[in-house]
Amino acid sequence: MDKAFLIQFTGSMAAVAVLVGLAAWARIGRPSPGLDEARARDLLAEDFPDRQVDQLWIAREGRGALARSGACALVLIQVGDGYAARRLSWCQASSAMFRNGLLDIHLDEVAAPRAVLAFDNWPPKDLAA
Amino acid sequence: MDDIDPVGLAVPFFILAIVLELLLGRLGWARARYEPKDTFTSLAMGLGSSVAGLATAGVIFAASLWVYQHRLFDIPMTAIWAWVLIFLLEDKTYYWFHRLSHERRFWWASHVNHHTSQHYNLSTALRQTWTGGVAGTWLLWLPLSLIGFPPAMVAIQKGISLVYQFWIHTEAIGRMPRWFEAVFNTPSHHRVHHARNPRYLDRNYAGILIIWDRMFGTFQSELEAEPCRYGVVKNLATFNPIRVAFHEWAAIGRDLLRARSLREAALYVFGPPGWSPDGSRETSHQIRARWAAGQGAEGLSPAAAEAIAPTPDAHSGSPA
């Protein structure tokens, strides 16, 4: 590797660090007060317009949500100040590991490896049969 | 002139412009949203892209030179008419490259990372591919060298186009003057391109001139009533640049493992993004059609629904 490239690369990394630092300092992300039921339903409707939400559970502090829709589970994962949504089978969601108040759902995708949602208990007490 | 690299020369400007956008956003003087992790991913993708580009630069340059040796005409690099001509031809090439990159999964796998941010700011412009050289879209520019444009001239014009496209990745600029919006790609037009709203999917592929979209039926103006929601159809749940760069390639590999025939395998690779043999996924075309049908059901006249529905020959899309 030649010296010019190394200098340029190192300088670029420094610039990245400075810009990310500035972005953190500026605090101009999207306002994200956490999900409430209405917002969660809106987000799910955007990603799954044809699916009806039968039951919905909001994770602690609104940092994600899980919904049951027939034989499917719809999950909202907080990603920075936004959300990603995924659909999986209800069996997969309901049988996910629940430990220390965290439901750890393996989504098995490179783009979305897992969804970790904080709940007081799981399965929830109000889960319909 | 052969050594001019517009992108390299513009890097300090890129950095200063991002700083300026951040400060204007912080002061509340302009609309700018930055999330630190998202910003890191965008900038890391940009840095990685320039490094990855070195791996294939030699092959691309050699191929361009070889084609140029078999050129049809001698086009002087010093003639103004030659620059006007290459500006138009390169920009039209970019339009088709970009459209191909959205409408066929093999090339979408390389391009998708540019669309993975849920934000739209100047750092998003730098969220560039790591696999463009491997995907081979550079082949589309070879005919320019075959016509007789020197490879350096083609490279410079490509660089000018990339530099132009930097400034349009912003929410800080609303709309440009009407005449400008009619001819050139602008922040407003490109916001539409980065949006995941069904109405906006696979629209506005332009590089510098928006006229190509108007000519080829892929233009959509930004509507006040429908704010852009940025990202891809299935947003990523990670900021890891490695995952961002390779996730669609991995998904293609996985689909190939379960393909039951050569036809299925071919469509998984070269079909529209979102294609599946059982219809369990949706292409952009299908998403737009479903949405348009819903609009029709909500009171649009059939003619209006038809106007917003995708044309059957294109726009089969780019959901991730």
CB contact B311 to A (< 8 Å): no
Q: Is A87 helix (H, G, I), strand (E, B) or coil?
A: strand
Report the Cα B39 to chain-centroid distance in Å. Answer: 19
Could you tell me if A42 and A97 lie in one domain?
Answer: yes
The count of domains in chain A is 2
Residue B303 to residue B300: CA distance in whole angstroms? 8
Do the domain assignments include residue B284? no
The count of C-alpha atoms lying within 13 angstroms of the C-alpha of B186, restricted to the half-sphere facing its C-beta, is: 20
Do the domain assignments include residue A126? no
pLDDT at B305 over 80: no
Residue A28 C-alpha, separation from nearest chain B C-alpha, in angstroms:
5
Could you tell me if A95 and A111 lie in one domain?
Answer: yes
Measured from the Cβ of residue B192, the count of other Cβ atoms closer than 10 Å reads 22
**What pLDDT, in 10s, does the model give residues B24-66?**
999 999 999 999 999 999 999 999 999 999 999 999 999 999 9
Cα-based angle B143, B144, B148 (whole degrees, multiple of 5): 110
In single-letter form, the type of residue at position A50 comes to: D
Residue A113 C-alpha, separation from nearest chain B C-alpha, in angstroms:
8
Give the per-residue pLDDT at B303. 46
Residue B141 to residue B97: CA distance in whole angstroms? 9
Residue with tokens 């599946």: B276
Could you tell me if A65 and A113 lie in one domain?
Answer: yes
Mean pLDDT of A42-60: 95
* Residues forming a β-bridge with A78: A83
The count of domains in chain B is 1
Do the domain assignments include residue A7? yes
Q: Which of residues 6-25 of B touch A (CB under 8 A)?
A: 11, 15, 18-19, 22-23, 25
- Give yes or no for a contact between A96 and A114, defined as CB atoms under 8 angstroms apart: no
Cβ pair A19:B18 closer than 8 A: yes
Give the per-residue pLDDT at B317. 39
**What pLDDT, in 10s, does the model give residues B206-226?**
999 999 999 999 999 999 999
Residue with tokens 């070879």: B142
Do the domain assignments include residue A125? no
Cβ pair B36:A24 closer than 8 A: yes
pLDDT at B313 over 80: no
Give the per-residue pLDDT at B304. 47
**What pLDDT, in 10s, does the model give residues B114-160?**
999 999 999 999 999 999 999 999 999 999 999 999 999 999 999 99
Q: Is B66 helix (H, G, I), strand (E, B) or coil?
A: helix
ipTM score here? 0.93
Could you tell me if A24 and A63 lie in one domain?
Answer: no
- Give yes or no for a contact between B273 and B320, defined as CB atoms under 8 angstroms apart: yes
Give the per-residue pLDDT at B43. 98
The better pLDDT of the pair A125, A98 is held by A98
- Give yes or no for a contact between B256 and B273, defined as CB atoms under 8 angstroms apart: no
Query: Where residue B297 falls among pLDDT bands split at 50, 70, 90?
Result: low
Burial B89-100 (b: 16+ CB within 10 A, else e): bbbbbbbebbbb
In which domain, by residue range, is A1 found?
A: 1-30
Do the domain assignments include residue A80? yes
pTM for this prediction: 0.92
| pLDDT over 90, % of chain B | 88
